[in-house]
Amino acid sequence: MSILSTDLYQLTMIAGYFEANRHQVPATFELFVRRLPSNRAFLIAAGLESALAYLESLRFEADEIAWLRGQPAFTNVGQRFFDYLATFRFTGEVWAIPEGTPYFPNEPILRVTAPLAEAQLAETALLAVMNYQSSVASKAARIVHAAAGRPVMEFGARRAHGLEAALGAARAAFVAGCAGTSFVEAGRRFDVPLSGTMAHSWVLAFSSELDAFVRYAELFKDHTVLLIDTFDTVEAAKQIVRSGLRAQAVRLDSGDLLALSRDVRRILDEGGLAATRILASGDLDEWHIADLVAAGAPIDAFGVGTALSTSSDAPALSGVYKLVEIGERGNTRSVMKRSTDKATWPGTKQVWRTTRSGHAVEDVVTLSNEAGPQDGVPLLEPVMARGRRLNQAPTLAALQRRARMLIAQLPDTLRRLDAADIYSVTQSAGLRELGAQIELEWESSR
Amino acid sequence: MSILSTDLYQLTMIAGYFEANRHQVPATFELFVRRLPSNRAFLIAAGLESALAYLESLRFEADEIAWLRGQPAFTNVGQRFFDYLATFRFTGEVWAIPEGTPYFPNEPILRVTAPLAEAQLAETALLAVMNYQSSVASKAARIVHAAAGRPVMEFGARRAHGLEAALGAARAAFVAGCAGTSFVEAGRRFDVPLSGTMAHSWVLAFSSELDAFVRYAELFKDHTVLLIDTFDTVEAAKQIVRSGLRAQAVRLDSGDLLALSRDVRRILDEGGLAATRILASGDLDEWHIADLVAAGAPIDAFGVGTALSTSSDAPALSGVYKLVEIGERGNTRSVMKRSTDKATWPGTKQVWRTTRSGHAVEDVVTLSNEAGPQDGVPLLEPVMARGRRLNQAPTLAALQRRARMLIAQLPDTLRRLDAADIYSVTQSAGLRELGAQIELEWESSR
């Protein structure tokens, strides 16, 4: 992805910082969401590794610089700026909340301290990556919870917003607890377990449904999942029993999944195919799955597409990336905006989570140099210094274990699909005082 | 993007077709949506050029093939299949409805005829690309309509589902009538006009708001758009007037946009800055814009982010890609699925639009070898043969002109934001007969 995959104002602003000789001033930006989308009582952080890979790769190619010079907006920008772009690298420091961690509004999940131009340029990409993967992970946590222990497979590539999004969705869904994905590249790149069945086109491409089933099973043996709703689901199940096919599973993709799963289970059991499992798919979401589970549908696993890959009921997070401190060490200035409904908290921050008897009870946001609550654990950790990652990327399996543990620590009332409680997040005294002080200075300067 | 950016079952199915020696059988798939999302009375086709570029680039690299061979699902697949993958190319024929054309449910917007394995493999990518860009274009058409002639800029990269999605959003929004985008790569790749302002961080990075404004205007002169809501919007406008700054525009990004735009307009006019325009942004969508326009808000242009780049109220289309015909020439078989609520129409099709006195009045879907209605115009055109594009890609400006003309031809009642009419789409006698005949054959075969 070209470094020009960004908003124009990032480039004009860094030109402006350069001309004003402010491009090297240390600056800290924090990435957080202002509020929860509807139907979410908590969010799951995801996308950090993609964000760090982006920061490590940031550079301008010669043809990109040449193109930029020709743009009308840059007419008055001198050659020295374009020379600077040729050497541009991200050299900053990053703190972050690890992927898979539940988080809440006004809690920074990423904090970037770097020369102003570098920290500024990264905004668009950091937001796009972290907003999206966190959206999917947050939705996945709800769907996995609704499935109550039955595996959930991510099948949403065809409805994702392009193939890069499909890759991010598979990754984020796995971090938040999905058992696998149909998206092959996620298996190759991130070791996400792969899961696949067959399409209706397979069934239609042979002279009969049974012929299609037999051909598939011959080749894929233990990996065979037969899609049985192309013509008549119940008839297809009977046909499988009569033919003696031993599929790993059958997939239901349409119709009344509760009634069909019961009919198909009975037919398979009576036919001696108790080991053949039932996979259900077809526009599923957490509410539909919870209903099926509550009704005792004999469904062994769920395939979920659109709801996961687009986080369909909340396709965007209100994630923002805001300047909170600027200036040379020893001479820094904390800043905040006052915009109606969009005011921000100033200063660089830390987030502390307090757990009692294994349950998270409260988060406190403090200034980064303040002491946290006595029994609190700090969530933001250093992950990059001088533009280089401090640790090897954790495996997705490790992130998934972490997410499972931390989600389990949330109060039960927060994991409810509907009418969930609101988790307590407060600002420390130091943070509130700093905000009040800046407000006062602003008032007195008018 | 690797060819492995696809669903696992595409790869297992093509292995299965190969082993059954059916991979070269000519097959036709059609891409269409089953139904409209809520709040949409028509859709705008987009994404075709990206889809064709994908088809032209389809090939397996040696390391991808080696990785695939090692996957458990492929244990029983012989070496001949992997040799075949090394030579795999898309060699088929594609018909499509041109980008920028309004379309409706059950109308194929893309029809692929190719050897079965090639047509099958492309499914995931074709759906992801066409579903997404058509979603954005369809949303953009509503937003542009609501703005009633005022330019709409696409500002949604930070909320798009990653940077590739941001590029697709900028492209599709422009096709459907947006005036420009903030996403630089869309300017470089597709000549979409670029638009940029400044972020709150720019204002906060200087010692005072006025200093920040002056510095920007010095460098960017005619391209200066000042963001004036960081502290107090009305005060900022007064300050601009007092300082004698001549910005191209000011941007409002928060608060009551109607009241603020009136106050700011009055201040600018009284200060001799009648030429300075007002741009509004901040979680805007078509309803909010329509309200502002109806109230006579003195806003000259709108910047729209999340609503465009995620098509937030309808983030996915129910687009599908279905096998409709299979077999050697002279021995083809039309096919359809019968799944509950998901049945499809068989056979290869054409879509005809009838226009009277400059207004589209009805579409008819026919079999592709059937005559259309006497005064109808066929919408599907050949765009690729033997795996190569037939024509140079049209410019986005040409696509935008086409879209504007065709949207204007729709009945007024279809362009209403709420309670729009339903456009008439019918199936031809030939198509209905073919469906009934296949249904009969199926019933009698049981």
**ipTM score of complex:** 0.96
Q: State the Rg of chain B over Cα.
A: 26
- pLDDT tens profile A261-300: 999 999 999 999 999 999 999 999 999 999 999 999 999 9
- The answer to whether the Cβ–Cβ distance between A19 and B219 falls below 8 Å is yes
Give the relative orientation of helices B209-220 and B233-243 as an angle to the nearest 10 degrees: 60
Is A1 a domain residue? Answer: no
Task: Flag whether pLDDT at A80 surpasses 90.
Answer: yes
- Residue A444 — very low, low, confident or very high, per pLDDT cuts 50/70/90? confident
Same domain? B273 vs B333: no
- Of residues A101 and A343, the one with the higher pLDDT is A101
Is B289 a domain residue? Answer: yes
Same domain? A123 vs A144: no
| Tokens 């075949």 belong to residue | B84
Q: What's the structural domain count of chain A?
A: 2
Question: HEC profile for chain A?
Answer: CCCCCCEHHHHHHHHHHHHCCCCCCEEEEEEEECCCCCCCCCEECCCHHHHHHHHHHCCCCHHHHHHHHCCHHHCCCCHHHHHHHHHCCCCCEEEECCCCCEECCCCCCEEEEEEHHHHHHCHHHHHHHHHHHHHHHHHHHHHHHHCCCCCEEECCHHHCCCHHHHHHHHHHHHHCCCCEECEHHHHHHHCCCECCCCCHHHHHCCCCHHHHHHHHHHHHHHHCEEECCCCCHHHHHHHHHHHCCCCCEEEECCCCHHHHHHHHHHHHHHCCCCCCEEEECCCCCHHHHHHHHHCCCCCCEEEECHHHHCCCCCCCCCEEEEEEEECCCCCCEECCCCCCCCCCCCCCEEEEEEEECCEEEEEEEEECCCCCCCCEEECCEEEEECCEECCCCCCHHHHHHHHHHHHHHCCHHHHCCCCCCCCCEEECHHHHHHHHHHHHHHHHHC
pLDDT score at A1: 84
Task: Average the pLDDT over B152-173 and give the result.
Answer: 98
For residue B216, CA distances in Å to A17, A52, A200, A290, B283 come to 9, 30, 58, 54, 25
Half-sphere exposure of B275 (CA within 13 A, CB side): 7
**Distance of alpha carbon B244 from alpha carbon B253, whole angstroms:** 23
Same domain? B14 vs B53: yes
The residues in A 213-232 lying below 8 A from B, measured between CB atoms, are 215-216, 219-221, 223, 229-232
- Residue A102 — very low, low, confident or very high, per pLDDT cuts 50/70/90? very high
Of A146-160, A288-302, A320-334, B255-269, the poorest mean pLDDT is in A320-334
Task: Flag whether pLDDT at A445 surpasses 90.
Answer: no
Task: Average the pLDDT over A399-427 and give the result.
Answer: 95
| Tokens 């005082």 belong to residue | A433
- The answer to whether the Cβ–Cβ distance between A202 and B13 falls below 8 Å is yes
pLDDT score at B445: 78
Task: Flag whether pLDDT at B222 surpasses 90.
Answer: no
Chain A residues whose beta carbon lies within 8 Å of the beta carbon of residue B316: 159, 306, 310, 312
- Residue B419 — very low, low, confident or very high, per pLDDT cuts 50/70/90? confident
- Of residues B443 and B153, the one with the higher pLDDT is B153
Is A3 a domain residue? Answer: no
Measure A357 CA to nearest chain B CA, in Å. Answer: 38
pLDDT score at B329: 82
- The answer to whether the Cβ–Cβ distance between A219 and B195 falls below 8 Å is no
Is A431 a domain residue? Answer: yes
Same domain? A117 vs A80: yes
| Closest to B71 (Cα-Cα) out of A192, A155, A304, A250 | A192
Find which of B22, B219, B324 to mutate to test the A interface (most A CBs within 10 Å of its CB). Answer: B219
Left if phi > 0, otherwise alpha if psi is -120 to 50, otherwise beta: which for B296? left
Name the residue among B1, B182, B339 with its Cβ closest to that of A9. Answer: B182
Cβ contacts of A80 within 8 Å, gap of 6 or more? A18
What is the overall mean pLDDT for chain A?
96
Strand A26-33 and strand A110-115: the pairing is antiparallel
- Residue B424, token pair as written in the block: 């008439």
- Of residues A73 and B176, the one with the higher pLDDT is B176
- The answer to whether the Cβ–Cβ distance between B220 and A25 falls below 8 Å is no
Is B178 a domain residue? Answer: yes
Name the residue among A221, A312, A339 with its Cβ closest to that of B316. Answer: A312
CATH of the domain at A289: 3.20.20.70
Instruction: Examine the fold and report which residue of A309, A335, A350 is the final residue of a domain before the chain moves on.
Output: A309
pLDDT score at A337: 86
Measure B13 CA to nearest chain A CA, in Å. Answer: 7
Measure B375 CA to nearest chain A CA, in Å. Answer: 35
Chain A residues whose beta carbon lies within 8 Å of the beta carbon of residue B319: 158-159
Measure A79 CA to nearest chain B CA, in Å. Answer: 13
- The answer to whether the Cβ–Cβ distance between A73 and B194 falls below 8 Å is yes
- Residue B340 — very low, low, confident or very high, per pLDDT cuts 50/70/90? confident
**Distance of alpha carbon B331 from alpha carbon B111, whole angstroms:** 19
- Residue A340 — very low, low, confident or very high, per pLDDT cuts 50/70/90? confident
Is B432 a domain residue? Answer: no
Judged by DSSP in three states, B364 sits in strand
Is A2 a domain residue? Answer: no
The residues facing A355 across adjacent strands are: A360
pLDDT score at A338: 83
- Residue B133 — very low, low, confident or very high, per pLDDT cuts 50/70/90? very high
- Residue B194 — very low, low, confident or very high, per pLDDT cuts 50/70/90? very high
**Distance of alpha carbon B359 from alpha carbon B414, whole angstroms:** 11
Instruction: Examine the fold and report which residue of A280, A309, A338 is the final residue of a domain before the chain moves on.
Output: A309
Domain of B257 in residue numbering reads as 137-309
pLDDT > 70 fraction of chain B, expressed in percent and rounded = 100
- Give the number of other Cβ atoms within 10 Å of residue B355's Cβ: 14
Tell whether A131 is within 8 A of chain B (Cβ).
yes
Task: Flag whether pLDDT at A446 surpasses 80.
Answer: no
The residues facing A333 across adjacent strands are: A326
Same domain? A297 vs A174: yes
- The answer to whether the Cβ–Cβ distance between B199 and A77 falls below 8 Å is no
Task: Flag whether pLDDT at A330 surpasses 90.
Answer: no
- Residue B307 — very low, low, confident or very high, per pLDDT cuts 50/70/90? very high
- pLDDT tens profile A360-378: 999 999 999 999 999 999 9
pLDDT > 70 fraction of chain A, expressed in percent and rounded = 100
Same domain? A293 vs A169: yes
- Of residues B278 and A446, the one with the higher pLDDT is B278
pLDDT score at B278: 98
Is A418 a domain residue? Answer: yes
- Residue B163, token pair as written in the block: 């940077």
Same domain? A242 vs A325: no
Measure B354 CA to nearest chain A CA, in Å. Answer: 31
Same domain? A144 vs A269: yes
- Residue A196 — very low, low, confident or very high, per pLDDT cuts 50/70/90? confident
pLDDT score at A278: 98
Chain A residues whose beta carbon lies within 8 Å of the beta carbon of residue B23: none
Same domain? A190 vs A78: no
| Tokens 């999942």 belong to residue | A225
Same domain? B187 vs B53: no
| Tokens 């814009």 belong to residue | B289
- The answer to whether the Cβ–Cβ distance between A132 and B161 falls below 8 Å is yes
Same domain? B297 vs B167: yes
What is the overall mean pLDDT for chain B?
96
- pLDDT tens profile B357-412: 999 999 999 999 999 999 999 999 999 999 999 999 999 999 999 999 999 999 99
How many interchain CB pairs under 8 A, A with B? 344
Same domain? B290 vs B199: yes
Instruction: Examine the fold and report which residue of A277, A309, A341 is the final residue of a domain before the chain moves on.
Output: A309
pLDDT score at B197: 87
